[in-house]
Structure 1
Amino acid sequence: MVDVFLEFMLGPMRAIGDYYFEHQMLFNAIVIGGALYKLASGKKRHEREAENCN
């Protein structure tokens, strides 16, 4: 039943969803890695700015 709704709503775009679900570990690892990198680089930048102000 869910497949019928997805097929109706997504149509030809369903192939993109299938590809994502097959490779979701890779995509999720990239997203989480990017978020962790952004957090780590943001903390270093704030530490440098604080040192420059003093």
Structure 2
Amino acid sequence: MIPDPVPADDPEQAAEQERLALEKKRERYVWYYLAYFLFGIHIVAFVMIYAVRHAK
């Protein structure tokens, strides 16, 4: 888990820390979506290979 950012005296610095934390969180979600997508493609490919090999 990401620790809560330390409150800064400068509001601009606090906003920058919040933006960076949000960007990091979104980037992690992008990697998750990419992993699920690639995993799904492999499942579909294996099913298609199975179907072609067992077709009559």
Query: Where on the TM-score scale, by shorter chain, does this alignment land: which range?
Result: 0.5 to 0.7
Which residue is equivalent to 2:44?
A: 45
Paired residues in the alignment total 37
RMSD over aligned CA atoms reads 1.6
TM-score by length of 2: 0.57
- Give ranges in structure 1 of 5+ residues lacking alignment: 1-17
CA shift for structure 1 position 20:
4.4
As a proportion of its length, which structure holds more helix? 1
Runs ≥4 residues deviating over 2 A: 18-22
Question: Which protein has greater RCO, CA pairs closer than 8 Å, 6+ apart?
Answer: 2
- Give ranges in structure 2 of 5+ residues lacking alignment: 1-15
